[in-house]
Amino acid sequence: MRLLLTACATTALVASGPLTAAAADQGPQGPVGGDLLTAKPTVVADGAAPPAVQASAYVVADLDTGQVLAAKAPHAKLRPASTLKTLTALVLLPRLKKTDPVIGSDADAGIIGSKVGVYPGLHYTVDLLFQGMFLASGNDAVHALCAHDEGGIPATIQRMNAKAKEIGALDTHVTDPTGLDADGQYSSAYDLALFAQAGLARPDFAKYASTKFTNFPNAGNKGTYQVANQNKLLFNYDGALGVKTGYTTLARNTFVGAARRNGHTLVVTMMNAPHGITEDASNLLTWTFTNYSKLKPVGTLVKAEGPPKTTTQGKPADKPASGIARPQRSRTVLSPGQAVQSLAFRVPVWTYAGPPVLLLGLFLRRPRTLRRRRH
């Protein structure tokens, strides 16, 4: 059904021209981070030509200076898969006590997607669940952590959207904290770089992101089993700091990786890559480290504005009536492939049944028409 909808969307693109998509902007100045950082599928770099990679979108930035050194469609809104867990961690880490006990539930164990092995009735610590979330990308660990926090999953989603807005990640909208494909859930390579920058500034985030192995308890507390970090960059790239990988059928491979060499800390984020994600990330990082002195910034990672100011009553303070420009949203042209994907994942799942049902109706009515012609 999704293939049929995609085919219909492609036909519409050919007939009516390219779709446009709103790129998140910061005031009237243009796209967040600089005028060159748009949703257009064009590689942007100054000083040296970056290696070709297969991802539809990527960003390479210096986390210490905030300078973006190379980018491709950095503001294209795409499915983030499990790289969205970097934002989940940014919300949950300051709220949960690492030594708190958490008892696994049926809901944790029954969640779909990647799991680390949270069993109903088994006792865990918040610390161990964070390890399961980072290393194994465990959706069950994420569910357990969110359920342990006040308000559960719905409140976590609200806090994630608020956090994204707070740090300037205006391309991001969250509907599922695990990163699973969900209607209306998207992010961008630029926003993933912001999450990495904010996360690696926290010692606990940095520790989880760079941990290679941990041990998880078996059901019935019968020993433990080893869990390895899925981010292969940690094991084969000198100076790697880890961070997060992701994959779903619709998002394909997504990636957030960081490394430190020669006094520079770089992050590379990639979205919608078919394969070879670790090799491409390594090539981009090596190219940037090698050509660092030649490269000129093509944009910046915006600084967090901080939480809204509050009055003594605890309500958000009113914004000045004048003198502050309202955020603007420029319209940038997407390539046909990106436009189709952007359209497909914004349409509710139930609408995919529409075209087949209409076609079925046409086929069912056809025999009657033929019979009338014979008479």
Give residues with Cβ within 8 angstroms of 43, minimum separation 6.
50, 70, 71, 72
For the record, the structure tokens of 20 come out as 């446009």
Angle between the 139-148 and 85-92 helix axes, to the nearest 10 degrees? 30
Cα dihedral sign, 52-54-59-62: negative
* 358: three-class secondary structure by DSSP: helix
Phi, psi of 261 (to 5 degrees): -145, 145
Q: How far apart are CA 329 and CA 326, in angstroms?
A: 10
Q: Which of 137, 187, 188, 342 is catalytic?
A: 137
DSSP state of 147: H
Instruction: Give kind and range of the element (H or E) at residue 368.
Output: helix 354-374
The answer to whether the CB of 83 falls within 8 A of the CB of 246 is yes
Report H helices in 250-335.
277-290
Q: Which of 40, 72, 82, 163 is catalytic?
A: 82
The answer to whether the CB of 119 falls within 8 A of the CB of 138 is no
72 has catalytic annotation: no
Q: Which of 85, 115, 163, 232 is catalytic?
A: 85
Looking at residue 312, its amino acid is: T
82 has catalytic annotation: yes
85 has catalytic annotation: yes
Consult the annotation and say whether 244 binds a ligand. Answer: yes
Distances (CA, A) of 49 to 145, 232, 265, 276: 43, 25, 20, 20
Burial group, residue 14, by CB count within 10 angstroms (0-12, 13-18, 19+): exposed
Q: Which residues are annotated as a binding site?
A: 244
Q: Which residues are annotated as a binding site for substrate?
A: 244
Residues designated catalytic? 82, 85, 137
